[in-house]
């Protein structure tokens, strides 16, 4: 067994069963490899796709996924990452207004404060007040989700980020072993294995 596999399986002993294990890859300016194009086209014909428009809050020094969707702040706390794999705590959705304390596990400086967040603008103003630097990234996403293996979901996404097109694949499972073999079988000519936050930071730098 490879060291990567051992580390991946060891982490399952640390985190709760409600966590999600993910392996995600982004790429642009290349054609979809044939099997994935077939999946995407088939799902499109079956109307098995979803569309969303989100605003991501990318905060300096923060590795968690924070996004505004349909009037709520969705928070996915990143617990660990290694060799391209990521472990996320169960996602929580905070509908405005909500107590500032709800974000204390994400922004340490807000712990113990009794204030409320009335809307997204008040959240960004409060981040500035506490000295956090951030970027706002608008993204449009067309997604098809399929059950690729019995316990492995595959998301194939077409993204428009700041006017530029990208593709993304994400494998999701509740246990590390659900991701190990599938991720090793995906091969793209030009790709970056990373999460959304690293992806946003990379394209902001023009990489």
pLDDT digits (tens, 9 = 90+) for 92-105: 999 999 998 899 88
Identify the residue whose tokens are 């099997």. Answer: 35
Q: Which two tokens stand for residue 175?
A: 């246990």
Q: Which two tokens stand for residue 198?
A: 């690293």
Q: What is the pTM of this model?
A: 0.84
pLDDT tens-digit readout, 37-91 = 666 666 665 666 788 999 999 999 899 999 999 899 999 999 988 778 899 999 9
CATH code assigned at 141 = 2.40.320
Q: Looking at residues 9-32, what average pLDDT do you find? A: 73
- pLDDT given at position 207: 47
pLDDT tens-digit readout, 138-184 = 999 988 887 777 888 888 888 999 888 998 889 898 887 777 666 56
Q: Tell the burial category of 205 from Cβ atoms under 10 Å away from its Cβ (0-12, 13-18, 19+).
A: exposed
Long-range contacts of 72-79 (CB under 8 A, 24+ apart): 72/96, 73/98, 73/117, 73/120, 73/123, 75/103, 75/106, 77/105, 77/106, 78/195, 78/197, 79/15, 79/19
Query: Nearest to residue 10, comparing CAs of 65, 76, 82?
Result: 82
Q: Residues 190, 205: contact at Cβ < 8 Å?
A: no
Give all strands (DSSP E) within 60-103, no chain letters.
65-69, 72-76, 78-82, 85-88, 92-95, 98-99
Q: Which region, left, alpha or beta, applies to residue 36 given φ > 0 means left and ψ of -120 to 50 means alpha? A: alpha
What is the C-alpha separation between 100 and 94, in angstroms, rounded? Answer: 11
The mean pLDDT of the chain is: 82
What residues contact residue 19 under an 8 Å CB cut-off, 6+ apart? 79, 87, 88, 89, 90, 174
Query: What is the span of the domain harbouring residue 113?
Result: 3-204
Tally of structural domains, the chain: 1
Q: Residues 179, 170: contact at Cβ < 8 Å?
A: no
What is the C-alpha separation between 186 and 85, in angstroms, rounded? Answer: 14
Q: Which tops the pLDDT comparison, 81 or 188?
A: 81
What is the C-alpha separation between 60 and 113, in angstroms, rounded? Answer: 21
Q: Looking at residues 20-45, what average pLDDT do you find? A: 73
């Amino acid at each position: 067994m490879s060291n990567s596999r051992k580390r991946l399986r060891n982490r399952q002993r640390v985190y709760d069963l409600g966590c999600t294990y993910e392996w995600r890859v982004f790429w642009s300016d290349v054609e979809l490899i044939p099997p994935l194009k077939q999946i995407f086209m088939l799902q499109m014909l079956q109307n098995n796709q979803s569309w969303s428009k989100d605003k991501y809050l990318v905060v300096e020094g923060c590795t968690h996924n924070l996004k505004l969707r349909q009037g709520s702040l969705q928070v996915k706390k990143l617990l660990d990452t290694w060799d391209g794999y990521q472990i996320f705590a169960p996602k929580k959705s905070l509908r405005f207004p909500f107590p500032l304390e709800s974000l204390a596990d994400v922004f340490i400086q807000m712990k113990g404060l009794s204030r409320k967040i009335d809307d997204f603008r008040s959240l960004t103003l409060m981040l500035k007040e506490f000295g956090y630097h951030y970027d706002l990234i608008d993204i449009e996403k067309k997604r098809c989700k399929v059950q690729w293996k019995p316990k492995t979901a595959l998301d194939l996404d077409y993204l428009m980020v700041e006017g530029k097109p990208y593709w993304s694949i994400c494998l999701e499972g509740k246990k590390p072993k659900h991701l190990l073999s599938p991720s090793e079988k995906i091969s793209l000519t030009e790709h970056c294995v990373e999460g959304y936050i690293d992806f946003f930071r990379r394209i902001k730098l023009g990489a």
